[in-house]
Structure 1
Amino acid sequence: MTSIWRRAWPRIRHWLYWTHRWLGIGGCLLFVMWFVSGVVMMYVGYPNLTDEERLAGLAPLRFEQAQVSPMAALQVLPEDVRALQPRRIGLEMQAGSDAGPVWRIVDARGGRHTVSARDGQVPGPVDAAQAEAIARAFSGHPDDANVHWAETLERDQWTVPQGLNPLRPLHRIALNDAAGTELYVSQRNGEVVRDTTRSERFWNWLGSVPHWIYFTPLRADPPLWHEVVVWLSAACIVSAVTGIVIGILRVRLRRRFRNGAVTPYSGWMAWHHIAGLVGGFFVLTWIISGWLSMNPNGWFQRGPLDAAAMARYTGAGTPALAWPPAVLPTEEGDAAAREAVLLWFDGRPLLQLRDARARVRVVDAATGAPASFGKEEIRRAAARLRPGAPVTLAVLQTREDFHWYGHHRERVLPVWRVESTTRRAAGST
């Protein structure tokens, strides 16, 4: 075996050096790009319409105009959509028109539907003139003549994420303000789905676009984009591993080279050897973590949400929801509700009211009275998620922890952290 290894070693070493050299030449450019663009991303994120921006652009809700109940709105949708429990049902005012309040419904497959809460009709497609009016109202300048329609498109550099697919095509509306703001309005239902500024667009060409390899033609094909990123990352992992192996093989800490150095190289090659050997482990863990975040080969695929378990937890639809609420919100200004999201908890219909600053309060959907949830109610509802797995602990958590923390989005606090004998779950208070 030793003789076989000795005969094979020269060829193995040849390919080790060859692989590191040529993958390193190409990969080093990627490493530099990922480092520099990552620094930019720390300060300028990818353009996105935040909840605060979206809610600030909506008009205060007029509950008295919402004569159609959410359950009646669901009956307007196709039968295959009604058969599955919707992910979200929210009430808001349709901007830029006299359509009044509308129900925005996200079905179990991610499809988006809009139903008028005034007459139960499904609004038609939004044309360019209507999109302009929506953008004017959303920006708070309903009479601004500088706002104009720029184009209607399926996707561009700032609307490539697949989450916008149910809302395409999109109208791009230029506000022509000092910040160079542009809004994207869905042609399907009139929602404002994205905003960008001149500064965001500039910095993202140096940040998110190269870092994620987010170029429009490639990102428009999600499977191809995924494979490109996974294989580029894998090649860089091989480059880092071969470099570390070569670095270890060429370093001498005890029986040093003639000049007393630990490396046989000099000048820039010596710096590359030592710095690469020390920093290579950091680079390796960094690139592996990015590679794993792409879920290669579906290793970390999440299972589908257990609809039956959620139905047991929420008790949705029992009892029937009386509409409208007996007591309507009376706040004015920024404190007025901009959106009302229908929730069910332990068989109780609730409304999550969100104001212009994204502040949240929860009321009983039937009476309008403030809703609260006690520890025993949480334990009882959580126990229905996994029958046979008794709840052992319920703690009100006021700080983020290892499992519930904000990274690219804000996490709601406080939450109840519920532990059972088999798994943990977290629910917002």
Structure 2
Amino acid sequence: MKRYLYLWHRWLGIVLCLFMAMWFISGVVMMYVGYPKLTPREHLAHLPVLDLQGCCRSLDEVLAAGGQSDAPSSIRLSMVGGVPRYLLGYAGQPSVAVDARSGQRLSLVDEAQAMAAARQFAADASARYQGLVQEDVWTHSRALDSERPLHRVSLADEAQRLLYISSRTGAVVRDATGQERSWNWLGAWLHWLYPLRGGVLSGWWADIVIYLALAATLMAVLGNVIGLLRWRLQRPYRSGSRSPYSGFARWHHVGGLLCGALVISWIFSGLMSMNPWRLFDAAAPLSTAAYQGGELRSRAFALALPEALRRFEQAGLQARELEWRLIAGQGYLVAYDGTGQTRILAMADGQVSSQLPQATLERAAQAMHGQGQMRSERLGAYDFYYYRRGEQSMLGHLEQRLPVLRVRFDDPGETWVHLDLHTGAMLGQMDSGKRTSRWLIALLHSWDWLPLLENRPLWDLLMLLFSAGGLLISLTGAVLGWRRLRRPRRVRRPQRHPGLAAPVGDVP
């Protein structure tokens, strides 16, 4: 049995050690430079103040022009290419844009409109059109599917940005700076095995990543078991060492004993981050439509837009984008300024406030679960399940403002929801499976633990130290594997039985 442990560990290592080394190197890069994305703050910072001169068409006209029988899942009004434009989102369908002045639905955005959007984004930089792409190395995110194909425009600004502009709406949906692109060849592009995306293996990309990570986890576990079996605690080997190995093999053995448990946790949590076999999918998510209390239609939004903008200005906010929101059947208009600050206007009484009443959100949340029991709490500080990460991290672009309302339900999934008191947005559902994934992924893989996240550079030092240990294990394993492959294969000589003549050709 022990022999098979060695064989499995050896041959898995020969195949996987270079992958492991690549994951450790790219993981360190991703600590500081994330995969390109357009964060909400970047988006708002590059928008001009809303100009509603000669505007706007009624919401009834806009929804009719959208040409969809279903109600939209989101409605925004923003400046796109210097003109006000309604941006309509539909679940699982392409986005739709409607000119706010003419009420005409836009067909596919052309090169001239894409260049106008690029000039709005960076008026002082010259721009060069690079064509239309369905998907490229910086746009693998599924969040962009409703905007494809994408216009690509390069800017000659200080950051050497590459802009991606929706062909559906004309809005800039992603930017990738020169620094992000350079580092990502060594970071996310390698870490997530993106060379396999977009080619003949694209359909198998997720399965390849999952089974490589599964095999690497098995390899690391076997290595730890073998390392413990070969380490002598009481009686040293003849050399005086507790390890029977020398050279690279000793570095591999000792490094594995010191950092092996962390290597296992990182590889296993990386496997879990792929949600293999859909382990963390909610069996029966709560209804967001019930939270809204109806479809996003015009009847809940009677106040005219110029008057709404005037009230936001009186409240001290210069709106760059408006968002229509329905909560418990009541209409609200949310305004965003260039720094991400918000004000919310209740259509029922025309009042502008910085936060919604807690009772309003609790009433809307209760509708999601009917007569079931729920408990709510107002969080004024971050905790294990609600916290903020740096923008470069995978989910660091998500707004995690305080205070926030957490509501817990007694449904079969023991679901929690976090509700933004500033905008009324539902920030996500977290059932027992998602909370388990919080432990298995965010904690084990990224060390998302508040005592560390709030005490940088302690988090950085520990991550770098143990990443170096994992890299040492991987590289020494790769060297040992290479030496094994180069070793001439020895032919096993047949054993002789005492008293029998030696086989022909055998040397006694």
TM-score by length of structure 1 reads 0.86
The aligned runs of 1:56-205 (5 Å cut-off) are 56-63=45-52, 65-78=54-67, 81-83=68-70, 85-96=71-82, 100-141=83-124, 146-205=126-185
Question: What is the alpha-carbon distance in structure 1 between the residues aligned to residue 134 and residue 65 of structure 2?
Answer: 27
The Cα shift of 1:299 comes to: 1.3
Partner of 1:44: 33
Distance, in Å, in 2 between the alignment partners of 1:302 and 1:115 is: 35
Runs of 4+ in 1 over 6 A off after TM superposition: none
Q: CA contact under 8 A between 1:182 and 1:195: conserved in structure 2? A: yes
Give 1:343's aligned residue. Answer: 325
1:409-428 residue pairs with structure 2 within 5 A?
A: 409=397, 410-422=399-411, 423=414, 424-428=416-420
SS of 1:32's equivalent in the other structure is: helix
**49-58 or 414-423, which deviates more:** 414-423
C-alpha distance in 2, partners of 1:150/1:271?
Answer: 49
Amino acid at match of 1:48: K
Relative to structure 1, is the Cα distance of residues 305 and 66 closer, same or farther in structure 2, using a 3 angstrom cutoff? farther
Query: Deviations along 1:7-30, whole A, 9 cap, x unmatched?
Result: xxxxx3333212211221332212
Equivalence for 1:7 = none
Q: How many residues align?
A: 405
Query: What is aligned with 2:294?
Result: 316
> Higher relative CO (CA 8 A, sep ≥ 6), structure 1 or 2?
2
1:223-275 residue CA offsets vs partner (Å, 9 max, x unmatched): 41101111111121121011112112222223443344322223432332222
Aligned-residue offset at 1:320: 3.5
CA distance in 1, matches of 2:84, 2:116: 16
Q: Which amino acid aligns with 1:86?
A: P
User: Does the 8 Å contact 2:162/2:177 carry over to 1?
Assistant: yes
Q: Which residue of 378, 401, 404 corresponds with 1:396?
A: 378
- Give the TM-score taking structure 2 as reference length: 0.73
Q: What root-mean-square deviation, in Å, do the aligned CA atoms of Structure 1 and Structure 2 show?
A: 2.6
Deviation at 1:52, TM superposition (A): 1.5
CA contact (8 A) 2:80 2:170 kept: yes
- Pick closer, same or farther for the CA change 1:64–1:335 going to 2, 3 Å: same
Deviation, structure 1 residue 377 = 2.9
Shift of the alpha carbon at 1:399? 1.6
Q: CA deviation at 1:295?
A: 1.0
Identity %: 37
CA gap of 1:379–1:137, structure 2 versus 1, over 3 A, is closer
Output the CA distance in 2 between the equivalents of 1:313 and 1:49. 28
Change (3 A) 1:260 1:123: same
What is the SS of the residue equivalent to 1:39? helix
Give the SS at the match of 1:328.
helix
Q: Match of 1:30, as an amino acid?
A: F
CA contact (8 A) 1:350 1:364 kept: yes
Instruction: Tell me if structure 2 keeps the 8 A contact 1:129–1:149.
Output: no
CA separation of 1:310 and 1:172: change in aligned 2, threshold 3 A: closer
Provide the rounded CA distance (Å) in 2 between the counterparts of 1:131 and 1:264.
Answer: 65
- Alignment CA distance shift 1:304-1:53 (3 Å): farther
CA deviation string 1:72-114 (max 9, x = no partner):
4223334xx433x532111112214xxx322111112253111
> Which amino acid in the other structure matches residue 311 of structure 1?
A
Q: List gaps (5 residues or longer) in structure 1.
A: 1-11
1: distance between equivalents of 2:418 and 2:323?
Answer: 19
Aligned: 1:362 with 2:362 = no
